[in-house]
Amino acid sequence: MKAAFALILLTAAAVAQDQSAIAAAVAACGPKEVNFDVKTGQNQHSAPQPDSQKALVYVVQEFGQVECKGCAVTKIGLDGAWVGANRGNSYIFFYAEPGERHLCMNWQSRFESRSRAFAVANFTAEAGKTYYYRARLFPGHLDVSFDLDSINSDQGKLLVASSALSVSTPKGKAVK
């Protein structure tokens, strides 16, 4: 009886630790209730001006050859605030203050199971540098998972050049 109680107590503690780790990771995201309208432009490539005081960050969403009618919208967060969203094979860019930064990607969906899908990454931003991240979707049997990986500048420039620019505007509640 005591062994069973100890096992239940240890299991409960492990679940609580997992929940706190998940909560800490999701803290890079913005408020759950914020959603975006997203438009993409074919061959619309914006060349942002470098900023000597901030880092430039690209997030390129790559779904490969997946047929993309009504493609998934993924929200991109930085340090607890949404910075924009992607739809289909597209990219966004934004500036980040120097220091340790935390990125989040979350599927914007009216379906609760899909809106729980997210990925996170962190990096140390340096002023004047450019960072590239590739966001990918991996459909599973009953669910979906995301991957948000840092990629080298050559691969990043190639993906940006072959993707559409996403222009997103928040609908409903405003972003931070």
Q: Looking at residue 118, which CATH number applies to its domain? A: 2.60.40.2890
Confidence grade of residue 141 (pLDDT, cut at 50, 70, 90): low
Could you give the residue ranges of the DSSP H alpha helices within the chain? 2-26, 112-115, 153-161
The answer to whether residue 142 is domain-embedded is yes
Show the domain range for 152.
Answer: 28-171
User: Which stretch of 2-6, 92-96, 105-109, 120-124 has the lowest confidence by average pLDDT?
Assistant: 2-6
The pLDDT mean for the chain works out to 80
The answer to whether residue 176 is domain-embedded is no
The answer to whether residue 3 is domain-embedded is no
Q: Which residue has the higher pLDDT, 143 or 94?
A: 94
Scan for tokens 């074919």, then name that residue: 42
Instruction: Return d(Cα 68, Cα 130) in angstroms, integer.
Output: 29
Q: Which residue has the higher pLDDT, 25 or 53?
A: 53
Number of H helices, E strands in the chain: 3, 10
Number of structural domains in the chain = 1
- Mean pLDDT, range 36-61, rounded to an integer: 84
Would you tell me how many other CB atoms lie within 10 Å of the CB of residue 42?
A: 7
User: Is it the case that residue 151 has pLDDT exceeding 80?
Assistant: yes
The answer to whether residue 151 is domain-embedded is yes
- Mean pLDDT, range 112-116, rounded to an integer: 65
Q: What is the structure's pLDDT at 19?
A: 74
Using DSSP, state whether 172 is helix, strand or coil.
Answer: coil
User: Is it the case that residue 93 has pLDDT exceeding 80?
Assistant: yes
User: Is it the case that residue 146 has pLDDT exceeding 70?
Assistant: yes
The answer to whether residue 20 is domain-embedded is no
